[in-house]
């Protein structure tokens, strides 16, 4: 079978799932040669098995809003691959959520979790719930209704969900409370828990810290660092917040943030109270960054993305497909040397090719944003031991894991000219561990 025939067959089996097919295509393009060179993988039909989720759960979530009206949402949990450990991956609450988006995220999660080298399989879930304008009580009731269905499918040794877009510490708390009430068990069934009840220090910051450590390692391959660098960032949520903190610590200056309404340009840099204000914006359920511009008297550019701003490093930290081919060309033209994904698949396939052709340092999210799930893995370890590590210990382990992922990408992605294709490196390194584990475990 040719690569095209294989991709066509996946497309035929998964109609109307463009994001999922995009994620599959990127991985298949990278691993095809390695796969063809290994008859054992082919005999076990690993590639066809790896693109098929082990289980898909969908359920109705009915709940009552503050006006007393009954509302209905769709709930999902995708258990994609358990070759390396219990299913592990976040829950996304956003009106755009559908099967295609969750399957792309669950698929990416398999390889990301593999890259961490921690014992975690891949999964993802969520709901099309829209938190915009909801009261705290409504969010609690929704989370409880969601968990009343989800609890049947998860468990600390089966499937361990965490946060993603629209799911942070508050939502994890409400879901954990409901799980505990239903099952009468206090366990490590979710990660991203509060620090006083089983959470890990540094988990809130981990994705952004990890992405910044990864970017620093990439810059180092060119003898450079964040010191004095201008950074364009998108999003204003959990990942962007952690990345802003770490870029500041490493001497860089973040000059943009974005939301669905547009982007803010703050040439002085996002520091001090402005960083704390990001948490207020995320908690306001307001869906906009314009508030930041109003509060701090900086420029707001409605309806646009931040990639038109001149920068040395770009860190897309909002959502999928938010950096397209034109944006990539603009970044290259403006002298950007490094693009590190904090979000999952924020760069389109076409934009990825533009950046790689221009020899820009480009890190795919499955490598550079793996710090979040890696620290979730460390939270699971602490829960199992019933111990808590210090912030320094967690941060040090996180840093080491990110450097190891960077090394794995270099090992499998370095070309004859010395240029590192991190996309290829991450996909091949992530794939090999999963494929070998699947071989060992037989046809299941």
Decide: is 90 part of the binding site for ligand 2IT (CB under 6 A).
yes
- Residue 30 or 238: the one with the smaller Cβ distance to ligand 2IT is 238
N- to C-terminal Cα distance for the chain? 23
Yes or no: say if 76 and 153 are a contact pair by the CB < 8 Å rule.
no
Catalytic, 180? Answer no
Decide: is 235 part of the binding site for ligand NDP (CB under 6 A).
yes
Decide: is 85 part of the binding site for ligand 2IT (CB under 6 A).
no
| Other CB atoms within 10 Å distance of the CB of residue 350 | 11
114, 148, 191, 348: which one binds ligand 2IT (CB under 6 A): 191
For the bound state, the minimum distance from the C-beta of residue 35 to ligand NDP, rounded and expressed in Å, comes to 26
Decide: is 122 part of the binding site for ligand 2IT (CB under 6 A).
no
Helix (DSSP H) and strand (DSSP E) numbers for the chain? 17, 13
Report the C-alpha gap between 148 and 142 in whole angstroms. 10
376, 382, 383, 421: which one binds ligand 2IT (CB under 6 A): 376
Decide: is 401 part of the binding site for ligand 2IT (CB under 6 A).
no
Question: Of these partners, ligand 2IT, ligand NDP, none, which one is at the site of residue 21 (CB under 5 to 8 Å by kind)?
Answer: none
Alpha helix positions (H), 221-298: 238-249, 273-283, 290-296
Q: Give the pair of three-digit tokens for residue 401.
A: 């894991």
CB burial of 269-308 (b: ≥16 within 10 Å; e: otherwise) equals bbeeebbebbeebbeebbebbbbbbeeeebebbeeebbbb
- Residue 63 or 87: the one with the smaller Cβ distance to ligand 2IT is 87
75, 106, 121, 163: which one binds ligand NDP (CB under 6 A): 163
Decide: is 89 part of the binding site for ligand 2IT (CB under 6 A).
yes
Decide: is 372 part of the binding site for ligand 2IT (CB under 6 A).
yes
- Residue 238 or 427: the one with the smaller Cβ distance to ligand NDP is 238
Burial of 6 (C-beta count, 10 Å sphere; 0-12/13-18/19+):
middle
Decide: is 319 part of the binding site for ligand NDP (CB under 6 A).
yes
- Which of these segments, 71-79, 146-154, 342-350, 409-417, binds ligand NDP (CB under 6 A)? 342-350
Report the C-alpha gap between 259 and 238 in whole angstroms. 13
- Which of these segments, 5-13, 157-165, 307-315, 349-357, binds ligand NDP (CB under 6 A)? 157-165
Q: List Cα–Cα distances, 76 to 13, 23, 149, 360, in angstroms.
A: 19, 19, 10, 37
Residues 139-168, one symbol each (x = binds ligand 2IT by CB under 6 A, - = not), give -----------------------x-x----
- Residue 372 or 413: the one with the smaller Cβ distance to ligand NDP is 372
- Alpha carbon 16 to its chain centroid, in Å, reads 23
In the set 88, 103, 112, 124, the catalytic residue is 124
Report the C-alpha gap between 378 and 201 in whole angstroms. 10
Report the C-alpha gap between 420 and 359 in whole angstroms. 9
| Residues of the shown chain interacting with ligand NDP in the complex, contacts defined by CB under 6 A | 90, 163-166, 168, 207, 235-239, 258-260, 282, 287, 317-319, 322, 342-344, 369, 372
Task: Name the residues annotated as catalytic.
Answer: 124
């Amino acid at each position: 079978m040719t690569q095209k025939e294989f991709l066509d067959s996946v497309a035929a089996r998964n109609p109307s799932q463009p994001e999922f097919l995009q994620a599959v295509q990127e991985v298949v393009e990278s691993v095809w040669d390695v796969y063809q060179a290994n008859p054992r993988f082919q005999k076990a039909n690993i590639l066809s098995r790896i693109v098929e989720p082990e289980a898909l759960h969908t359920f109705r979530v009915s709940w009552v809003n503050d006006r007393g009206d009954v509302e209905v949402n769709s709930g999902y949990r995708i258990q994609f691959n358990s070759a390396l450990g219990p299913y592990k991956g976040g829950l996304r609450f956003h009106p755009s959520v559908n099967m295609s988006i969750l399957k792309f995220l669950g698929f990416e999660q398999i390889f990301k979790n593999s890259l961490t080298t921690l014992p975690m399989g891949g999964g993802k879930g969520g709901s099309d719930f829209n938190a915009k304008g909801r009261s705290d009580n409504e969010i609690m009731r929704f989370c409880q209704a969601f968990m009343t269905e989800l609890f049947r499918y998860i468990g600390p040794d089966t499937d361990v969900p965490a946060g993603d877009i629209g799911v942070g510490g508050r939502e994890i708390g409400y879901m954990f409370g409901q799980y505990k009430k239903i099952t009468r068990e206090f366990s490590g069934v979710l990660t991203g828990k509060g620090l006083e009840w089983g959470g890990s220090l540094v988990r809130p910051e981990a994705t952004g810290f990890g992405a910044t450590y990864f970017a620093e390692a990439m810059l180092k391959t060119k003898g450079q660092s964040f010191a004095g660098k201008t950074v364009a960032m998108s999003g204003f949520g959990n990942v962007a917040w952690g990345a802003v903190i770490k870029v500041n610590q490493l001497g860089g200056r973040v000059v943009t943030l974005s939301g669905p309404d547009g982007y803010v340009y703050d040439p002085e840099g996002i520091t001090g109270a402005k960083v704390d204000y990001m948490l207020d914006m995320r908690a306001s359920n307001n869906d906009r960054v314009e508030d930041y511009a109003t509060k701090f008297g900086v420029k707001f550019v409605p309806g646009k993305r931040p990639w038109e701003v001149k920068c040395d490093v770009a860190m897309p930290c909002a959502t999928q497909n938010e950096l397209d081919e034109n944006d990539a060309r603009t970044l290259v033209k403006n002298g950007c040397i490094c693009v590190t994904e904090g979000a999952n698949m924020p760069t389109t396939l076409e934009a990825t090719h533009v950046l790689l052709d221009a020899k820009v340092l480009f890190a795919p999210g499955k490598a550079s944003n793996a710090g979040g799930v890696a620290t979730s893995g460390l939270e699971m370890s602490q829960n199992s031991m019933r111990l808590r590590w210090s912030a320094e210990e967690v941060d040090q382990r996180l840093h080491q894991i990110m450097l190891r992922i960077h090394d794995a990408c270099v090992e499998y992605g370095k070309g004859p000219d010395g240029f590192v294709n991190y996309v290829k490196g991450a996909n091949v390194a992530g794939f090999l561990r999963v494929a070998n584990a699947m071989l060992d475990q037989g046809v299941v």
